[in-house]
Structure 1
Amino acid sequence: MSGRNGADGAGTVVGTVERLRRYPVKSLLGEELPSAEVTGRGLAGDRVRALRDVGTGRIASAKHPRLWAGLLAFTAGTGADGTVAITGPDGRDVDEAGLSEALGRKVTLVAERPAGATIERAVPEEVLARGIDEEVAFTVNELGRAAPDGTFFDFAPLHLLTTSTLAASGGEAERYRPNAVIRTRGTGYVENAWVGRELGIGLSLRLRVLVPTPRCAVPTLRHGPLPRSADALRVLAAENRRVPLEGMPELPCAGVYAQVLAPGRIAVGDVVTLR
């Protein structure tokens, strides 16, 4: 595998960075990157904004698809000056009023996570059994349990996914919203074995892999031009159930969450090593 050496040159080579993506606004479509700086707050410019439901005070998330599946029709991009712009399906810029009208709920764009911010998450088994258009049970979860203060990550600041997992699940990377897609040689859900270990990427970036990433209704939804796909969750439910954290049930998982031990730059083609 080609690319820059892994951090320190230590560890066993497990892959190379194939794609990088960031999502400037939580639950909106994101943008492809050739490289990015990574700090304790994740990829520069990732999840720096979110939409807040004015009526409930909660952060809008496509994890509750009956309310928020429409978020995935909009794209957030970052300008050269770092400003975030939102465009609709027709490519035109959209402001808060336009988003509120399209979503049928009044929303406001926020730049700091409110203390105690929560999101609603549809129960995956009910989504598979009843579909996203039906009223299903949901849980209310604290946002960013392992993320830096003020950010809008669901749990941790980085989400990694391998090509092996994509091949096993049959789903497109865009459905699972990773920050980095890592090209790997193995078959099956190879990143499960990385939990609790360190990854080196590029010249200096070092990560701690925390937990498998539990999946919800989001992969099944329409993502821009990608149609709905129940199989994007159904295959995981049949083949890759894991317990993400102690006290949680087995859940369909794909990818892993990670935190940053040493900051650095990440680029497509970088070698990934496992320690």
Structure 2
Amino acid sequence: MIWPAIWRLPTPMSLRAGNEKRPPPGTFFDAATIDILTTSSIRKLQKYVPDVLLDVRRFRPNLLIDDDAQRDDVRERDWIGAVVGIGSAKFTVVREAPRCTMIAAEQAADIPRHSPILRAIVKEMKQALSVYCDVKRPGFVKLGEFIFRQEA
């Protein structure tokens, strides 16, 4: 089973305002409504655990941004305090997402337990991977949409 059950959400995903605190049925949020992760962050982490296949499902982001580049830094850290738009939705980037032991746990038959992942994030990446966001303007996000940044 993949958690959260994002395949049950409407496509394109309708995003609700950050002041609406009830999550959609069948979902669960750790600390924020939206968690955004970039592929450059995954590439950076991969440097520290080269023997591990990093399945993005392990990190449970709501949105994975493929930066289509060879950069390997945590690009989303630069967005903290800014507003990012994807499709017709806008998000206020609030803070880094601290990581806990859940990312090292077995999550599905094909995602085994692997503690070095968390150790690498704690030691090399300040225990954070991805960013937490609030929904500033509800809207629709479709696969392939571009992301844009503006100051808050």
For this structure pair, what is the TM-score category when the shorter chain's length is used for normalisation?
0.7 to 0.9
Q: 1:189 aligns with which of 74, 83, 89?
A: 74
- Write out aligned runs for 1:241-252 (5 A): 241=126, 252=127
Higher alpha-carbon Rg: 1
CA drift of 1:240 comes to: 1.0
Q: Greater strand percent: which structure? A: 1
Structure 1 contact 166–172 (Cα < 8 Å) conserved: no
SS class of match (1:223): coil
**What corresponds to 1:263 in structure 2?**
138
Question: In 2, distance between residues paired with 1:234 and 1:172?
Answer: 17
In structure 1, the gaps of 5 or more residues are 1-22, 51-151, 242-251
Structure 1 moving runs of 4+ over 3 Å? 31-34
Structure 2 contact 5–26 (Cα < 8 Å) conserved: no
CA drift of 1:218 comes to: 0.5
> What percentage of residue pairs aligned between the two structures are identical?
27
**What corresponds to 2:5 in structure 1?**
30
In structure 2, the gaps of 5 or more residues are 47-53
**Larger RCO, structures 1/2 (Cα 8 Å, 6+ apart):** 2
Provide TM-score, normalisation by structure 1.
0.45
Q: 1:220 aligns with which of 104, 107, 110?
A: 104
- Write out aligned runs for 1:146-161 (5 A): 152-161=28-37
Q: 2:93 aligns with which of 201, 209, 216?
A: 209
CA drift of 1:41 comes to: 5.6
1:219-274 deviations in whole A, cap 9, x for unaligned?
A: 10001121111122111112111xxxxxxxxxx00000000111100011000011
Provide TM-score, normalisation by structure 2.
0.79
Q: Does 1:179 align with 2:62?
A: yes
Question: In 2, distance between residues paired with 1:167 and 1:49?
Answer: 30
**What corresponds to 1:133 in structure 2?**
none
Question: In 2, distance between residues paired with 1:271 and 1:38?
Answer: 16
1:85-136 deviations in whole A, cap 9, x for unaligned?
A: xxxxxxxxxxxxxxxxxxxxxxxxxxxxxxxxxxxxxxxxxxxxxxxxxxxx
CA drift of 1:188 comes to: 1.4
CA RMSD of superposed structures (Å): 2.3
CA drift of 1:30 comes to: 2.6
Q: Does 1:274 align with 2:149?
A: yes
